[in-house]
């Protein structure tokens, strides 16, 4: 198990756009395993994107099963959202922005197209927190942070300690 160092804002890597993966080899498989280990090592970690550990390739790992029933542990390479339906506002957190959470508006349900860790095409519909997490992680691939998606920095962003003390729950991706 290798836990990689997580980049924390204002690290400039978090603002860069990632490049598509073209080679599915042992090096990629090893990186994906390390990325998943890093996600699991973080308190409340349900998702992580390669740029969060300084690797500008289009790979994300998501596993929201500790919070809700979903597709299980997902590795998505070169993921895209082909359709989004409905809207929801969810309190989001991020291991790369550890001090804050925010209310973010996202699709409630999405259709995802991607490759798995072996390069096989996958397509599925995701709903609920899993959908939110996938959208959050795909944003990382494009250099977008969840704070960029809030309606109001004044009313929708919260210091993490204050929110947790109020008994709320946030989703640390």
- What are the 10-residue block averages of pLDDT along the chain, 173 residues in total? 95 98 98 98 95 98 92 97 97 96 97 98 97 98 97 90 46 56
Report how many helices (DSSP H) and strands (DSSP E) the chain contains, helices first: 3, 7
Instruction: Count the residues in the chain.
Output: 173
What is the reported pLDDT for 163?
40
Per domain, the residue ranges of the chain are 12-172
Q: Could you tell me the CA-to-CA distances from 173 to 22, 52, 65 in Å, in that order?
A: 25, 10, 13
CATH of domain 12-172: 3.90.45.10
**The one catalytic residue among 23, 83, 137, 169:** 137
- Active site (annotated) includes residue 113: no
Structure token digits, residue 89: 């506002």
Tell me the pLDDT tens digit for each residue of 132-146. 999 999 999 999 999
């Amino acid at each position: 198990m290798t836990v990689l160092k997580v980049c924390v804002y204002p690290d400039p890597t978090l603002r860069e756009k990632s490049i598509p993966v073209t080679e599915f080899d042992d090096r990629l498989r090893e990186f994906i395993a390390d990325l998943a280990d890093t996600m699991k090592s973080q308190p409340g970690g349900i998702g992580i994107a390669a740029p969060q550990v300084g690797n500008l390739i289009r790979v994300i790992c998501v596993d929201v099963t500790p919070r809700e029933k979903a597709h299980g542990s997902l590795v998505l390479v070169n993921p895209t959202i082909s359709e989004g339906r409905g809207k929801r506002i969810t309190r989001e957190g991020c291991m790369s922005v550890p001090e804050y959470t925010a209310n973010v508006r996202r699709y409630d349900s999405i259709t995802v197209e991607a490759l798995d860790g072996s390069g096989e095409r996958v397509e599925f519909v995701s709903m609920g927190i899993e959908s939110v997490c996938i959208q959050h992680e795909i944003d990382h691939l494009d250099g977008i942070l969840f704070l960029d998606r809030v309606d109001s920095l004044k009313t929708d962003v919260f210091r993490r300690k204050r929110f947790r003390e109020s008994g709320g729950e946030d989703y640390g991706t």
